[in-house]
């Protein structure tokens, strides 16, 4: 997986490429400048250190002074940070820094809304692999900032047997049995189920985590009762802010929500610059 610096460097290469034509044309030489990041709406902040790193990778002499931390809630008009440095550098880093900060803050803010909608139920809200290609590390971090938790990072760090795996293997019991023989004894096996019959088979086969995929709350409640604490229960599929409360009330342990990362709206943040 790409590290933070690699993600930023790729984004800068994508944006600047062979050179910032506009800045090269209109800004002569080194010109000291000051800039502010300003919130244009309320949201939960995520990605301040990432935004700062954009500018330090361009020029270590840029001074980035944050006025808030990840996890803080800001209001419209709040100044998130002040920057001082060469005007050309601030202009070149502006869009990449804002894109990442806006995206991450949007994910944190949406995650908090889902977490609050769970109410007093014990279910944890987790993300999925439905992330922006190349940004998974940052997006999953933003979920944690918003009060959610992370599901597996990728295909390499967890066993999740889904519908197509079951079809390819020839059945739930066969798939679980093969997985159990192949993985370390320290690793858990999760399997996706769509019916109560599949839940019973997964339980009999010794699944550690049973995903209830696209089940209605009434069926979920029956499945939770069948499982009876013998496996961790995850609800998934079609979870919205309107339905997550009813899903959580069924007694499931985990609710995975793809919308946290694939449907979060970027928060509105501006960079305002002036000569120092």
Annotated catalytic residues are 95, 130, 162, 192, 213
Task: Report the C-alpha gap between 60 and 80 in whole angstroms.
Answer: 20
Coil/strand/helix, residue 124: strand
Contact predicate 101/48, CB 8 Å: yes
Query: Rounded distance, CA 146 to CA 34, Å?
Result: 30
Q: Report the run of H or E that residue 105 belongs to, with start and end.
A: helix 87-117
46 close to 107: Cβ distance less than 8 angstroms: yes
CA atoms of 154 and 1, how far apart (whole Å): 9
Distances (CA, A) of 101 to 73, 76, 96, 234: 14, 16, 9, 30
CA distance 155 to 253: 22
Phi, psi of 242 (to 5 degrees): -80, -25
Exposed (0-12), middle (13-18) or buried (19+): which is 22, by Cβ within 10 Å?
exposed
Q: In the structure encoding, which two tokens stand for residue 141, read together? A: 């971090």
State whether residue 255 is helix, strand or coil: strand
């Amino acid at each position: 997986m790409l590290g933070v610096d690699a993600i930023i460097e790729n984004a800068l290469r994508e944006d600047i490429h062979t050179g910032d034509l506009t800045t090269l044309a209109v800004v002569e030489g080194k010109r000291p400048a000051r800039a502010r990041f300003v919130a244009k709406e309320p949201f939960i902040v995520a990605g301040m250190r990432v935004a700062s790193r954009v500018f330090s990778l361009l020029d270590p002499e840029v001074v980035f002074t944050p006025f808030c931390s990840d996890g803080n809630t800001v209001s419209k008009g709040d100044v998130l940070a002040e920057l001082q440095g060469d005007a050309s550098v601030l202009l070149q880093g502006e869009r990449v820094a804002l894109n990442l900060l806006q995206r991450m803050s949007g994910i944190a803010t949406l995650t908090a809304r889902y977490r609050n909608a769970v109410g007093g139920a014990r279910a944890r809200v987790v993300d999925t692999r439905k992330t922006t290609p190349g940004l998974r590390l940052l997006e999953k971090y933003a979920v944690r900032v918003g009060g959610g938790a992370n599901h597996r990072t990728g295909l390499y760090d967890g066993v999740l047997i889904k519908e197509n795996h079951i079809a390819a293997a020839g059945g739930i019991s066969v798939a679980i049995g093969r997985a159990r023989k192949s993985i370390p004894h320290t690793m858990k096996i999760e399997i996706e189920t769509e019916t109560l019959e599949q839940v019973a088979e997964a339980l009999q086969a010794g699944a550690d985590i049973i995903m209830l995929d696209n089940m209605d709350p009434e069926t979920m409640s029956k499945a939770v009762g069948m499982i009876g604490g013998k496996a961790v229960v995850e609800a998934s599929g079609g979870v919205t802010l309107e339905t997550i409360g009813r899903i959580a009330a069924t007694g499931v342990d985990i609710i995975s929500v793809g919308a946290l990362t694939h449907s979060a709206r970027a928060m509105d943040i501006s960079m305002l610059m002036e000569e120092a």
